[in-house]
């Protein structure tokens, strides 16, 4: 299985207009701090799965040129995850493909976007595995907003998982995610910076250690971060200082990062 990060940023892309801080300067000068809205492509054999379709989706598809997309998995209905669905629909040349999400999000998106030409919604059930061609996917609920009806998901594929937007994991989700080879998690806020809807890098490291992740990749990194390389080193130092060991190195995702699992 092959993973490409199309975007690893927060709800507003980085760099930001008019900003002269170290993060935006690094992003502008070609460093790894440049971040489009979070999205990923998962490929296994001839199956290609897109996770989220935010406002940067056309730029992301042009850069990575997938030959086809077999399904879209939505994490949730916030704009940074769904605002590019119409663009994706126009970009697609193939027949109908499913967009997996929960019932309420599907209703809201149908109301917002009307009919699609190439996309249709397919309903998820918490922890209920389904197949996209040969690839088995298990959707797991995560806690992201305070509104209990608003659902947010992460996805497990074999020995890796992707959950880009949450502030806490339910107990059953934690059990499902124990001991995976590659654990991709929300690390939206920098070390010690708190936000009610997202994780801080230090909390993500502690959580991944509790999950006994072999490898942790933090994504969704926001504007509270210092430049990428400096942040990645500081997060590794935090883990070491707190005796949170991982068999493989902790990594801070960046746009274009590719992994094999
Ligand atoms: Zn900035
Ligand atoms: Zn969100």
pLDDT at 223 over 90: yes
Collapsing DSSP states into helix, strand and coil, what is residue 132?
strand
Domain 2-8+22-126+139-260 class in CATH: alpha beta
- Between residues 125 and 95, the one the model is more confident about: 125
Question: What is the CA(247)–ligand 2 centre distance, in A?
Answer: 30
User: Both ends of the chain: CA-CA distance in Å?
Assistant: 5
Which two three-digit tokens encode residue 218?
A: 């933090």
Task: Give the pLDDT confidence of 58-83 residue by residue, as tens digits.
Answer: 999 999 999 999 999 999 999 999 99
Task: Give the pLDDT confidence of 164-194 residue by residue, as tens digits.
Answer: 999 999 999 999 999 999 999 999 999 999 9
Judge contact between 52 and 38, C-beta under 8 A.
Answer: yes
Judge contact between 234 and 200, C-beta under 8 A.
Answer: no
| Listed residue (2, 131, 176, 150) closest to 82, CA to CA | 150
Collapsing DSSP states into helix, strand and coil, what is residue 18?
coil
Q: CA-CA distances (angstroms) from residue 89 to 35, 84, 115?
A: 23, 9, 10
Considering every ligand atom shown, identify the ligand nearest to the alpha carbon of residue 83 and give its number.
2
Task: Give the pLDDT confidence of 228-260 residue by residue, as tens digits.
Answer: 999 999 999 999 999 998 888 899 999 999 999
Q: Give the pLDDT of residue 74.
A: 98
Question: What is the CA(31)–ligand 1 centre distance, in A?
Answer: 13
Considering every ligand atom shown, identify the ligand nearest to the alpha carbon of residue 220 and give its number.
2
State mean pLDDT over 48-67. 96
Among all chains, which residue has been given the structure tokens 């497990």?
Answer: 156
Which two three-digit tokens encode residue 95?
A: 């027949």
Q: Where exactly are the structural domains of the chain?
A: 2-8+22-126+139-260
Question: What is the CA(88)–ligand 1 centre distance, in A?
Answer: 28
């Amino acid at each position: 299985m092959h993973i490409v990060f199309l975007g690893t940023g927060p709800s507003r892309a980085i760099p930001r207009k008019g900003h002269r801080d170290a993060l935006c300067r690094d992003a502008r000068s070609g460093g790894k701090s440049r971040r489009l809205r979070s999205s990923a492509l998962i490929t296994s054999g001839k199956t290609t799965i897109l996770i989220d379709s935010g406002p940067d989706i056309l730029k992301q598809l042009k850069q990575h040129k997938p030959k086809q997309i077999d399904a879209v998995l939505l994490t949730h209905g916030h704009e940074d995850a769904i605002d590019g669905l119409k663009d994706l629909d126009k970009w697609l040349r193939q027949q109908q493909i499913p967009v997996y999400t929960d019932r309420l999000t599907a209703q809201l998106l149908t109301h917002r976007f009307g009919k699609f030409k190439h996309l249709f919604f397919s309903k998820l059930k918490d922890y209920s595995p389904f197949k996209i061609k040969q690839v088995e996917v298990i959707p797991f609920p995560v806690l992201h907003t305070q509104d209990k009806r608003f659902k947010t998901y992460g996805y497990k594929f074999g020995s890796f998982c992707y959950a880009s937007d949450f502030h806490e994991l339910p107990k059953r989700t934690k059990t499902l995610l124990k001991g995976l080879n590659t654990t991709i998690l929300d690390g939206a806020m920098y070390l010690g910076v708190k936000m009610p809807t997202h994780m801080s890098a230090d909390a993500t490291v502690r959580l991944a250690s509790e999950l006994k992740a072999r490898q942790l990749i933090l994504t969704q990194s926001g504007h509270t971060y210092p430049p990428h390389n400096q942040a990645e080193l500081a997060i590794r130092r935090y883990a070491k200082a707190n005796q949170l060991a991982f068999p493989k190195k902790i990594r801070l995702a960046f746009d274009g990062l590719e992994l094999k699992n």
